Amino acid sequence: MSQFTLNLIFIGLSFALYIGIAIYARAGSTSEFYAANRGVSPVMNGMATAADWMSAASFISMAGLIAFTGYDNSTYLMGWTGGYVLLAMLLAPYLRKFGKFTVPEFIGDRFYSRTARIIGVVCLLIISITYVIGQMTGVGVTFSRYLEVSNSTGLWIGAAIVFCYAVLGGMKGITYTQVAQYVVLIIAYTIPAIFIALQLTGHFLPQTGLFGTLNGTDTKFLTKLDQVVTDLGFREYTAHHTSTLDMVLFTLALMIGTAGLPHVIIRFFTVPKVADARKSAGWALVFIALLYTVAPAVGAMSRFNLTTTMWPGAEAGETFSQPAVTLESIENDEDKQWMRNWQVTGLLNWEDKNGDGMIQYYNEAGESEALSAAIEEQGLAGNELTTVNNDIMVLANPEIANLPGWVIAIVAAGGLAAALSTAAGLLLAISGAVSHDLVKGWLAPDISEKGELNAARISMAVSILVATILGLNPPGFAAQTVALAFGLAASSIFPVLMMGIFSTRINKQGAIWGMLAGIISTLMYIFAYKGFLFIAGTNLFEDNAASWMFGISPASFGVIGALINFGVAYFVSNATEEPPAEIVELVESIRVPRGAGAATAHH
């Protein structure tokens, strides 16, 4: 059976399962559409939250970023898991106790202001659309490779699948679909990792294999990887290279961004009791850890496999004395089929710059003695592996390692499960904000429940279309695009929720001006450095560490935006009148443990 047929079978079966669940669990009311009728158990909600959370960025991109950067990108692991601790301790139980459907609804009620609610909607839409671009990018990457279609065609196919089950099922259908998607993605991530860990280190667990010795040697795997990449002029894999300030700020941005992500927060509105919200966050962390502890091993082993495939002598420490991959072998050899497969997608490419019939992969700016000698002796004319998209590493790794066809097919299904589960959660957050907060809360307060449900479905369909169009030309790798969304969430939603729960002094003026100051300052900083200003089509400053303000990268600026938000809200609130007495009483009733077994406020 051909690889293409296997891919079709595995992907087709997983899609049939998702759409079948959505039809079975079709939402019939707004309560089912927004919050699954508050009937989801903590364990199941934890699993659905993990799937909602572990997006294309986690499944496809994160290990790719670690593969090419090494130690420094462990910030993704620390930030994204640490955020759940903040969420469980500081936000989830209190928001569930408040008993509303959406994040902007909480903001509007707590700050007794329709304007605050609408600004909450605008912030939510900016965050969610930025985030969903990353998911659609991942969908396009996966489909283009495994269904052998173009990136854009892959995107439209993915959009159609999301449309089928997200628009039909709402939160009720999406929750049960996400449980199935979690099972698919965790199996798809760990099985290839186990195979490759056994191949390289003899360890069954990738987590221990990462720190084990390379098969047939006494050399630690990571020591060997360091030697292989530094010989080729790349930075040492296990060393710390970036600014420590930026590393700390980036980790914090991911943490507080996680705690402020609307599509994650709404998952905690689906459990029966307030105490279940905290349990859900705990279970989510357990299910997320199953993948996140494997990711560093996947990143390191995929980098090792790629490098030693391009330079067969690298593993023996004889990189330049043995030939690199030849054009003839790429054309004819079965074990180089993966290169031909990925070249079609445009995510991998090469060019024989010196006409020697071989493809040399190295860092031409590197300072290795062996590399300098090879450049002089062999007349190397620059790195000839001209394109290696970070996003292909997890998906290509099983092919590079010559794993069985069914393993490659299940990885395809897993990558799509990760991207689609998060896309569905984001689209639900967007549709809830539009239909419940804009339409019901402002434009048409007297709309019927059926009318609101239709508005939710229409807004979700429009959101899918917008996300797909933006996904055709994304501003970076899936994980990088997603990291920007975290900065926006950190600077706008997280501070206003924290102040709304833990401060009785912050009033509507403080919340409004704080949110505006936080998100506008962060957007301006991102737009100044990232080359995707839709108006000008260019960036104002060079996007590199030398030109960043105080060495703070655009993805790390969310923490500064959050501090601006807190500061503006504090000063404006103290310069204006205190909140009404009933709001002060409401805030205190949310925090007091009294009645913690059941929600005290109802929609």
Instruction: Tell me which residue of 523, 516, 526 sits closest to 565, measured CA to CA.
Output: 516
Q: Give Cα separations from 202 to 224, 312, 326, 395, 582 (angstroms).
A: 15, 20, 30, 22, 64
Between 480 and 175, where is the model more confident?
175
**Residue 296 CA to its chain's centroid (Å):** 16
**The pLDDT value given to residue 35:** 61
| The pLDDT of residue 478 is above 60 | no
Range 560-571 average pLDDT = 97
Average model confidence (pLDDT) across the chain = 85
- 518 falls in which pLDDT band (50, 70, 90)? very high
Domain boundaries, the chain: 3-301+400-591
**The pLDDT value given to residue 95:** 85
- 73 falls in which pLDDT band (50, 70, 90)? confident
Q: State how far the Cα of 233 lies from the Cα of 96, in Å rounded to an integer.
A: 52
Between 133 and 306, where is the model more confident?
306
pLDDT digits (tens, 9 = 90+) for 15-46: 888 888 877 877 666 776 666 667 788 899 89
Weakest-pLDDT range from 18-32, 64-78, 323-337, 498-512:
18-32
**The pLDDT value given to residue 524:** 87
Q: Give Cα separations from 244 to 241, 251, 254, 530 (angstroms).
A: 9, 11, 15, 21
Range 72-79 average pLDDT = 86
pLDDT digits (tens, 9 = 90+) for 388-429: 988 788 888 899 988 898 998 998 888 888 878 888 888 888
Percent of the chain with pLDDT over 90: 32
**The pLDDT value given to residue 326:** 92
Range 246-257 average pLDDT = 91
Q: What is the CATH number of domain 3-301+400-591?
A: 1.20.1730.10
Range 156-160 average pLDDT = 85
Which residues 6+ apart lie within 8 Å of 420 measured at CB? 18, 135, 139, 158, 161, 162, 181
Instruction: Tell me which residue of 551, 554, 559, 556 sits closest to 241, measured CA to CA.
Output: 551
Tokens of 526: 């991102």
Range 353-381 average pLDDT = 86
